Structure 1
């Protein structure tokens, strides 16, 4: 057997390449959309990808299953569980509880494990020449390292009222199946730490069923369904806005993107035309570079591992947009965007020089440090705004700070004063720089960014208070 774990740090998403070396055939589970990765592995291992499997209709990324099948001729093996509302609307081989897939000398058993979503399935792998016992369990968003999949996404992200309680009850029952799997079996989940698909995912990529039965919080409630549901639903992170779009695109037929696009560099005139059409400019530079000079109206989303997530919060799927980015980073940034279906990139500019060459004037950001903030707090006309998640805010925030989650800031501009001095912060300054750029783009001239944020506040001994 050949096995390779493919991990996307930007979305904390795992996919898997599994092959039978004797037969020269392979399967990919939950592929990301830039599928050249798997084709390269197959070529290196002299294997043919014949099977593409999915654990469920994903909400956090745009699956590359159909792209991979189109390029390789592989068959799609997708869940037919969950009822009529949870069926894929394109051709595939349907899978149900107990079905077996043969891949050369490998056997894959299908287990229906609803809870995160109604159609969720998991795959139990046996390497027949080695043993009749299973060796790997691919759980998707069912069981993670240290956590289980959240059942509230359908309600919070897709607007399907009343589904989270039903999902939590299904998940409680699905764990009974997990308990029956032998303790020695490796567990390879669909996500790692940093994913919004759970609240306490572990950072290690693999675990075992035995370890999870002993250490995962969810298995402490074997005879307490009510306690399990209460613990499961409490404190889940805010689901990114783009999750609802991913559910739609992963279920329905859509245009395929079988290669990574090459972006066109915009001239000064082309940039001006794009700005006249109100195309957003996403400035991917480091927050410190942005602060020293930025194009008015541009939004600073740094090109790090969180780039796609925040782009999914603030960009829509209809309006073209422009990237300000180092040309050397374009392939990486384009891949990150295509993984959540943000394909409508109008072009890029390599620096702010493209803007200033046409006579444009840059803006600079107002920032503050700990001591100046302490001084500002002595006055009466200050609004301090915490842009972190609600759970972070509740666990401890600067006394007197208001809370507005950065992801929903454009919808809550009315909560930001236009008369007082406004100081914004987050945990380490990344989100507050996004917030500063959004507020500046909306005409706020009274805002100061505290880029040191909670990290600096705590390091300097600043007081905090909690809220529930």
Structure 2
């Protein structure tokens, strides 16, 4: 028996490859099929099943393409309805793979169809559970993503989750391994551990949601508290996972097409395409295609694209680091952005060589910000971090406008003002600045190094800082509400 976790850091997502006697299953595959096909070929294994733990909202699964290329059967749990062929497993059903087996445990709560797969080894011993978004390490799945207006509330789903955990999962032996669908950084939970697997026994001891003396009412209150609205693309990705999508091969062929500077301008004009620059923030600030948006490939790329570009069908042309064009197209497709129409061949140097105009964004060091603040020259300091980061520690002179909710807060900003922008380390503030610049804001100054650098200048700047400790949940809830 072989069990392999395939972890993708940018999405904090875990897929799984399990093999026995030349047969394999893959659980919750990402959109691209090539890595899985290569793994099957290397091991000389045949893919028998593709297990889906639920209708993922934070990424588009590769289940449909993978099934078409391998002949494997797509398996969902009870209540899952799709427009393509699946095996809708029954609660308690057993599916075999070589000398091992999987028992289907219907565990609704995160979503109605959420299912956990219990792996039993060659001796029939309960070995591991693949929990999807039902149980994470240190947390559980948020219960607000699959609400139906007037039918099922987040409180209803939280109640189902409580029952699922206690009736289906916590009754298993403590030595059973827990393999979740996500780790820290995913928006599918609130406070996941950086660890990507654990034993069920340790989780019973350390996971707040598995506390033995917790009542259902307490559980519902805790798991529904402090939930920020999900990113706008979540519901759209879930729909794609239910209804289907373009072949990943077609998406890659179309998106990884080289185009010249002149062709880029024509596509922007004719198609209304967005120029997406995915280089490093320090490279971007020194020269970029006017009106382009920066979202760096080496940050939390796909989630930020999903949060900030409302239309999945938005035509996109790319400015990328050399050699990473197909990677960028793939990572866009993982969250449903399939309408990439090419990349600027030769990158920004080709744009300059063609005599095209460049735009820039001013960036200053934290000590220069400190000097300007001391001189009373900074009227608008914008902290673009998350509300929870802001209330934990921030400059009292700063206003919090989280990058996540920039579109909700544009009414607070004026193109006539000068804005100093910072985040935690410099990535998010450059994204924020690029969006404002594309909307006609000229007077923007980014703080290099973000809060980490600003904090070190507190004494030099003679600036007061707020640092509350033991923040009450109601304060967090209020901060999130104000940010939205």
Asked if residue 384 in structure 1 is aligned to residue 374 in structure 2, the reply is no
1:154 alignment partner, SS class: coil
Alignment match, 2:106: 112
**Inter-CA distance 380–225: structure 2 relative to 1 (3 Å threshold):** farther
Correspondence for 2:278 among 277, 284, 290: 284
Deviation by residue 1:110-129 (Cα, 9 ceiling, x = unmatched): 1111111111000000113x
**Structure 2: distance between partners of 1:296 and 1:150:** 39
1:433 alignment partner, SS class: helix
Alignment match, 1:164: 154
Deviation at residue 96 of structure 1 after TM alignment: 2.4
**Structure 1: distance between partners of 2:150 and 2:415:** 36
Any residues of structure 2 matched to 1:330-349 within 5 Å, and which? Answer: 330-349=325-344
Deviation at residue 259 of structure 1 after TM alignment: 6.9
**Structure 2: distance between partners of 1:79 and 1:258:** 28
**Inter-CA distance 238–265: structure 2 relative to 1 (3 Å threshold):** same
Deviation at residue 135 of structure 1 after TM alignment: 0.4
Alignment match, 1:369: 365
**Structure 2: distance between partners of 1:399 and 1:307:** 30
**Structure 2: distance between partners of 1:178 and 1:72:** 32
Q: Structure 1, unaligned stretches of length 5 or more? A: none
Correspondence for 2:424 among 414, 422, 427: 427
1:76 alignment partner, SS class: strand
**Structure 1: distance between partners of 2:297 and 2:140:** 29
**Structure 2: distance between partners of 1:58 and 1:447:** 38
Alignment match, 1:417: 414
Asked if residue 206 in structure 1 is aligned to residue 197 in structure 2, the reply is yes
Moved more, 214-223 or 190-199: 214-223
1:79, 1:87 within 8 Å by CA — same for their partners in 2?
Answer: no
Q: Structure 2, unaligned stretches of length 5 or more? A: 476-484
**Structure 2: distance between partners of 1:401 and 1:417:** 16
1:198, 1:237 within 8 Å by CA — same for their partners in 2?
Answer: no
Number of aligned residue pairs: 458
**Structure 2: distance between partners of 1:190 and 1:160:** 29
1:342 alignment partner, SS class: coil
Deviation at residue 168 of structure 1 after TM alignment: 1.2
Alignment match, 1:311: 305
Moved more, 415-424 or 95-104: 415-424
2:251, 2:340 within 8 Å by CA — same for their partners in 1?
Answer: no
RMSD over equivalenced CA pairs, Å: 2.1
Deviation at residue 353 of structure 1 after TM alignment: 3.0
**Structure 2: distance between partners of 1:234 and 1:391:** 13
Deviation at residue 44 of structure 1 after TM alignment: 1.1
2:258 alignment partner, SS class: coil
1:9, 1:305 within 8 Å by CA — same for their partners in 2?
Answer: no
Moved more, 49-58 or 393-402: 393-402
Deviation at residue 307 of structure 1 after TM alignment: 1.2
Alignment match, 2:482: none
Alignment match, 2:32: 34
**Structure 2: distance between partners of 1:256 and 1:14:** 22
Alignment match, 1:143: 135
Deviation at residue 160 of structure 1 after TM alignment: 8.2
**Structure 2: distance between partners of 1:47 and 1:259:** 26
Alignment match, 1:393: 390
Deviation by residue 1:398-423 (Cα, 9 ceiling, x = unmatched): 11322222123134322113333211
1:26 alignment partner, SS class: strand
**Inter-CA distance 105–353: structure 2 relative to 1 (3 Å threshold):** same
Any residues of structure 2 matched to 1:16-31 within 5 Å, and which? Answer: 16-21=16-21, 24-31=22-29
2:112, 2:146 within 8 Å by CA — same for their partners in 1?
Answer: no
Q: Could you tell me the TM-score, scaled by structure 2's length?
A: 0.89
Alignment match, 2:480: none
